[in-house]
Structure 1
Amino acid sequence: MLENKRRKFDTYKRAPRVKSLKDTSEYGINSDVLGQIFGNWQFKYKYPERVRYFNQYEHYKTNVQGLDIHYMHVKPKKSNVKVIPLLLLHGWPTSIKEFYESVPLLTTTRPGYDFVFELIVPSLPGFGFSQGPVRRGLTTYQIAIVMRNLMERLGHKQFYVHGGNLGHNIGTHMATLFPNQVLGFHTTFPVNFSKIADWLWVIGSLWPTLVSNEFVDRMYPLSEKLAYYLEEFGYLHLQATKPDSIGIALQDSPVGLCAYINDRILSLTDPSNKLREDGGLSNYNTTDLVDNVMVYWSTGSITTALRLYKEISANQDMEDVLAQIPSPVPTWALRPKHEIYHSPDFVLRWKYPNLLGITNLDEGGHYLAFEKPGAFSDDIFKAVDSFLKFKNK
């Protein structure tokens, strides 16, 4: 694998390259920004050291419904308080790496709380170290069943769930399908995906009083938001229609894979990043970004990961049905300032009638656990404390 990467790097260095336009990432990731990430990967990235870093936590595989599912299982080293099982679900194009800096924060006791977390952090099917399906049909609500079965396999009949990005979709389905097992749901992507929520978004452009004044700019003007989605979401159409075509190209080029993945991470962290000279790279450690790319490159999993978007599109009718069903599970929303969608509080409560709290941040973007592990971990503790008090009422 390392020799193959070295040969690919050599080919990339010899090939003619076109530099990006100066000081902008509006055309995609800027070549100078990519050069900083690639330079770290090529010259500074110490593979044996990073392997030790990844292996600081225990990794396992188990077969669930015919698929070999990889997961990290981290228990608190010492605890004289209650231990809470928490399932952490990543999205795309992140991986289990998204939660690495949060693990010690969540498995260490802290003042003011009488509990600590036992973490189960799986690679989604087809992502990273988890096996992908060989037949069509595995979409997010079916992955929700796989994740429930994984937790039962580990002895947890009841547990808590966090999800962001695709992990939000899966976690929401778990809270909808298994309300007696999911004791609480925490999300950093608090969105109601029902059709009526979409209509209210349009109606709210005519009657903006439907939205709290402090959040109007996160939803409107409607024309600007639609233009933003058209500009940024081209990848969704590509992945929902021809995932194998783009996947084959990306798996053949570590530099192309690095560019594609990090363009999404940097762009969706803050829309203004595309106007910044560094493209938003200052929000992240470049080694962390390379670690995340390495999960996909070393496992050859980019194509199977992209296929999930095709499956979601092909099974949209069932996704829509589940989106209409309220979940009674206690829920907590952590809203980053630059989240790509904003659902008003009352719209969220249609889906999550027991929405116990919302934390509104004045910073952060779509991959909050990756970008701001401290703020993310603090909110997890606050949310679960609220869940426990709600349960004991």
Structure 2
Amino acid sequence: MSSNGVVEPYQIAVPDEAIEKLKKKLELATFPQETSFSNDWNYGAPLDDIKRLAGAWRETYDWRRAEAELNEKLPQFTTKVGVEGHEDDLKVHFVHKKSEKPGAIPLLFCHGWPGSFIEVSKILPLLTTGDKDDEPTFHVVAPSLLNFGFSQGTSKPGFGISQQAEACHKLMLQLGYTKYATQGGDWGFMVTRSLGIQYPAHVIGSHLNLIIARPPRLLTSPLLCLQHALGWYSAHEKVGFERSKWFRDEGNGYSRIQGTKPHTPGFSLADSPVGLLAWIYEKLVGWTDAYGWTDDEVLTWISIYAFSQAGADASVRLYYETAHNPKGMDSLLEWNGKLPLGLSYFPKDVLVLPSSWGKTLGPVVYEKRHEAGGHFPSIEKPEDLVGDVKMFAKKAGLGAKLTL
């Protein structure tokens, strides 16, 4: 265990008894009775898929191999930070890899739910290297948010977005990064937005791949509001409206449950590997653009939740804290003119809003609407996401901001 402020190397080492307990629970699993529509995605995770994955998790999947690969590919560390009103010594697990190129930009990569630090695995080598002299590179820090993965769980109510942001900021300062850029989607969108508001002297730019925004308003964005009122939207933006409507109508139930009674599904997430698998697998498939998940990819992803230090149930409490702090959420959607933004839109994300809406968040110096990709672009389209982050860094002049 690291003392407060001390950074120590970390290797994932799940106890043997935890692996054996997981397998015993999988052996005793009870599945729903089969019906003529058991494999209809409209009803949720298909029975055949969950049976296959649960069987592989129990019989053939090798967590020790996955664990060794994560430890080899991802340089991991822990430290402790204090959060006001909460614990003074919360253990934060994080990936940290520096670029060897001079002038590299510190970059905080922030995951969401149901993601984890594993989302940085494909983009880490791309972000830290560059072939061209003028190509930006980054010192990448990718924490497990508190209550996720191998970071500590919190014990008091009220640990929401601003508290996650405080922990991430203190982590960056402990690593010596007094100025840094941010990248995020899902909860990462909200945490990085909060960082830009709470610590404007430190955050030099933010790239977002899930854009949550309100329609333009007459008093603050009259030209954008006129465009909205007249319905001047591109074909891609109109398709995005359809995708967003589908999510609100058919894909958002989990959020309402987790935002109102997180403890209730938490019992299943903590106790039942099959329940956890089905709950997250549905999102992995439904929120991506026909990405070809392998069984090993899915099971490694889910295993990080199953072996989470705080327990898989802890991760969903962030929904409750955010839903019960609407003023805090509203502030994240206000114009922040001090923070340059880069926006990447992927057509199969859960929300795909028009560009005019995204521009209400702050000065957009770079944006791109992609032809393919979904909610997890660092996994689905790593080259596209990294290309956008690097182009944003150039357009925003982030390298020069480090010396100001």
What interval of TM-score do these two structures reach, taking the shorter chain for normalisation? Answer: 0.7 to 0.9
Separation of aligned partners in 1, 2:193 and 2:234: 24
Alpha carbons 2:240, 2:353 under 8 Å: kept: no
2:49 maps to 1:27: no
Residue 384 (structure 2) aligned to one of 356, 375, 383: 375
| 1:331 equivalent in structure 2 | 341
Per-residue CA deviations over 1:187-223 (Å, capped at 9, x if unaligned) read 11122258959xx9999887322x2344122125xxx
SS of structure 2 residue aligned to 1:358: strand
Per-residue CA deviations over 1:254-274 (Å, capped at 9, x if unaligned) read 11111101111211224xxxx
Q: How does 1:141-290 map to 2 (within 5 A)?
A: 141-193=162-214, 207-209=230-232, 211-219=233-241, 226=245, 228-270=247-289, 280=290, 282-290=291-299
Tell me by how many angstroms 1:151 deviates: 0.5
Separation of aligned partners in 1, 2:108 and 2:244: 33
2:142 maps to 1:121: yes
> Is the alpha carbon distance of 1:42 and 1:205 closer, same or farther for their aligned partners in structure 2, counting shifts above 3 Å?
farther
Tell me by how many angstroms 1:39 deviates: 4.0
| 2:96 equivalent in structure 1 | 73
> Is the alpha carbon distance of 1:202 and 1:21 closer, same or farther for their aligned partners in structure 2, counting shifts above 3 Å?
farther
Alpha carbons 1:60, 1:70 under 8 Å: kept: yes
Tell me by how many angstroms 1:58 deviates: 2.4
Which stretches in structure 1 are left out of the alignment for 5+ residues?
Answer: 271-279
SS of structure 2 residue aligned to 1:365: coil
Alpha carbons 2:98, 2:138 under 8 Å: kept: yes
SS of structure 2 residue aligned to 1:29: coil
Alpha carbons 1:145, 1:174 under 8 Å: kept: yes
Residue 349 (structure 1) aligned to one of 359, 380, 400: 359
Give the RMSD, CA atoms, in angstroms.
Answer: 2.8
TM value normalised by structure 1: 0.87
Tell me by how many angstroms 1:17 deviates: 4.1
| 1:310 equivalent in structure 2 | 320
Separation of aligned partners in 2, 1:49 and 1:227: 38
Separation of aligned partners in 2, 1:259 and 1:203: 44
SS of structure 1 residue aligned to 2:44: coil
Residue 63 (structure 2) aligned to one of 47, 50, 70: 47
Matched AA of 2:374? G
Separation of aligned partners in 2, 1:195 and 1:359: 19
Tell me by how many angstroms 1:318 deviates: 2.3
Separation of aligned partners in 2, 1:251 and 1:383: 40
> Is the alpha carbon distance of 1:162 and 1:189 closer, same or farther for their aligned partners in structure 2, counting shifts above 3 Å?
same
Which stretches in structure 2 are left out of the alignment for 5+ residues?
Answer: 1-17, 83-87
Alpha carbons 2:147, 2:314 under 8 Å: kept: yes
Tell me by how many angstroms 1:137 deviates: 0.8
Alpha carbons 1:194, 1:324 under 8 Å: kept: no
Tell me by how many angstroms 1:316 deviates: 1.1
Matched AA of 1:70? H
SS of structure 2 residue aligned to 1:173: helix
| 1:320 equivalent in structure 2 | 330
Per-residue CA deviations over 1:223-274 (Å, capped at 9, x if unaligned) read x85464122111011001111110111221111111101111211224xxxx
> Is the alpha carbon distance of 1:16 and 1:32 closer, same or farther for their aligned partners in structure 2, counting shifts above 3 Å?
closer
| 2:10 equivalent in structure 1 | none
> Is the alpha carbon distance of 1:325 and 1:52 closer, same or farther for their aligned partners in structure 2, counting shifts above 3 Å?
same
TM value normalised by structure 2: 0.84
Alpha carbons 2:45, 2:278 under 8 Å: kept: yes
SS of structure 1 residue aligned to 2:333: helix
Matched AA of 1:367? F
Deviates more, 1:300-309 or 1:165-174: 300-309
> Is the alpha carbon distance of 1:37 and 1:204 closer, same or farther for their aligned partners in structure 2, counting shifts above 3 Å?
farther
Residue 130 (structure 1) aligned to one of 147, 151, 157: 151
Matched AA of 1:183? I
Tell me by how many angstroms 1:41 deviates: 2.3
Matched AA of 1:287? D
* Percentage of matched positions with identical amino acids: 25
Q: Relative contact order, CA 8 A, sep 6+: which one is greater?
A: 1
> Is the alpha carbon distance of 1:204 and 1:246 closer, same or farther for their aligned partners in structure 2, counting shifts above 3 Å?
farther
SS of structure 1 residue aligned to 2:343: strand
SS of structure 2 residue aligned to 1:82: coil
